[in-house]
Structure 1
Amino acid sequence: MSEVRLPAETRTEFGKGGARRTRRAGKVPAVIYGHGDDPRHVALPAREFANAIRHGGSNVLLTLDVEGGEQLVIPKSIQRHPIKGHFEHVDLLAVRRGEKVTIDVPITVVGDVVPGGLVNLENTSISVEAEATHLPTGIEVSITDLAFGTQITAGDVQLPSGSSLITDPDNLILSIAEAPTAEQLEAEDAAAAEELGIVQDAPQTESSDDSDTGGDSGENASAE
């Protein structure tokens, strides 16, 4: 995995007000933890950090130039604005070359499900341990030619070289089920509506009684 070098500035303003001013200046508030050291509050250039995440993934390895020195870190927690999507805060884990760390690696499903099949994705990531400078950015799980009823657990996933599984190997990742028919979906909708007490009106049709009544009215009117 490639490293991304970023400049970092030490932050002296804290709290919500300080964080807002940092973001208005085009930077992302961040805190560096790890190795028993006191947390270090820094600010990262927002555009460069966004590019690093976009191309390197959430486990990208960063080399920070801060106060004339270098600090190797990986993102541990990233907070983004729920609507605008920009980065609001980042927790960074300090690492050393050769050190092993535990990270959550996203799972990507590849291939085509069997005709008439449905993929039930139970977990979107698994935890692995790997060397800090060789962290996997993602793991692919192929569903090609998997029959109905097939289950893939964490222990079935092929890990990148140098990684070891931390997640319980029995944890279910995905399963292949037979897709429901249109009739089954309609029956499920009807059952759900009945459970909620929703009554569906029957389609209205023109009543023959109405036409008969209309005829009688006409005859009565002419008789008078």
Structure 2
Amino acid sequence: MSEVRIAAEPRTEFGKGAARRARRAGKVPAVLYGHGTEPRHITLPGHDLMLALKTPNVLLRVDGVEGAENLVLPKSVQRDPIKGFLEHVDLLVVKKGEKVNVEIAVNLTGDAAPGGIVSQELVTIEVAAEATAIPEGVEHSVEGLEVGTSVTAGEIKLPAGTELVTDPEAIVLSVSAPAAEGEGEEEAAEGEAAEAPAE
């Protein structure tokens, strides 16, 4: 579990103009909320925040908010759709020992049995984990799985102290035989015909 210390400054100006000025100064507007407290508006250093957010479910230790140190999880990150820079971040205050629901990645390893194609239906699953011990992801081996095999969320081995929130019956991956040549082309042709606008 990664924990990153980051310095915040209180935000006193609001609105689009103020947000633009903050971003020009290399800062990102953010809101801290949770634990029955009033939302607190802050700015964070853009470069440090961008680096921290490269880690999934990173735990941030935010200094400088009303003299307190806050443990927070990024809950909503807004980026510019074209340039990709951070526009705004919502941060959820958490406490040590508290369980939080988060999405973690399911990373597949190994190769299915010859002739099998693995289709990953869910790339993430939702789990409940202690706020200071959130796993970055889980690995599941598909080594030697035969055609026709499917794996549900309930079959994914989770780290100790982590509980599954996703429906345990939800299919995470399945192994199928390759489509026979020509099948895909026929389906594509049918799809195109269906998409053709009616005169």
TM-score (norm 1): 0.81
Q: d(CA) in 2 for partners of 1:35 and 1:111?
A: 42
Residues 1:45 and 1:197: Cα distance change in structure 2 (over 3 Å): closer
User: Is the Cα–Cα contact under 8 Å of residues 115 and 147 in structure 2 kept in the other structure?
Assistant: no
Please show how residues 184-223 of structure 1 align to structure 2 within 5 Å: 184-196=183-195
Alignment: residue pair count:
196
Structure 1 runs not aligned, ≥5 long: 199-224
Q: Which residue of 1 aligns with 2:56?
A: 58
User: Is the Cα–Cα contact under 8 Å of residues 109 and 143 in structure 1 kept in the other structure?
Assistant: yes
Please show how residues 20-99 of structure 1 align to structure 2 within 5 Å: 20-54=20-54, 57-66=55-64, 67-99=66-98
User: Is the Cα–Cα contact under 8 Å of residues 58 and 75 in structure 1 kept in the other structure?
Assistant: no
**Per-residue CA shift, 1:17-55, capped at 9, x if unaligned?**
22222111111111111001000111111111111122x
Residues 1:113 and 1:28: Cα distance change in structure 2 (over 3 Å): farther
TM-score (norm 2): 0.90
**Per-residue CA shift, 1:81-101, capped at 9, x if unaligned?**
222121111111101111111
Q: d(CA) in 2 for partners of 1:168 and 1:189?
A: 33
Please show how residues 80-159 of structure 1 align to structure 2 within 5 Å: 80-159=79-158
**Per-residue CA shift, 1:141-194, capped at 9, x if unaligned?**
222211111111110111112101111111111111112132222222333344
Q: Which residue of 1 aligns with 2:182?
A: 183
**Per-residue CA shift, 1:61-90, capped at 9, x if unaligned?**
110111432111111111122221211111
Residues 1:194 and 1:69: Cα distance change in structure 2 (over 3 Å): closer
2:23 partner SS? helix
Structure number with greater Rg is 1
Which is richer in strand? Answer: 2
User: Is the Cα–Cα contact under 8 Å of residues 33 and 39 in structure 2 kept in the other structure?
Assistant: yes
- Identical aligned residues as a percent: 52
Q: d(CA) in 2 for partners of 1:58 and 1:16?
A: 28
| 1:197 CA displacement | 5.7
- What's the C-alpha RMSD, in Å, of the aligned pairs? 1.8
User: Is the Cα–Cα contact under 8 Å of residues 76 and 91 in structure 2 kept in the other structure?
Assistant: yes
Residues 1:17 and 1:4: Cα distance change in structure 2 (over 3 Å): same
Q: d(CA) in 2 for partners of 1:43 and 1:84?
A: 20
Q: Which residue of 2 aligns with 1:12?
A: 12
Which is richer in helix? Answer: 1
Q: d(CA) in 2 for partners of 1:132 and 1:155?
A: 22
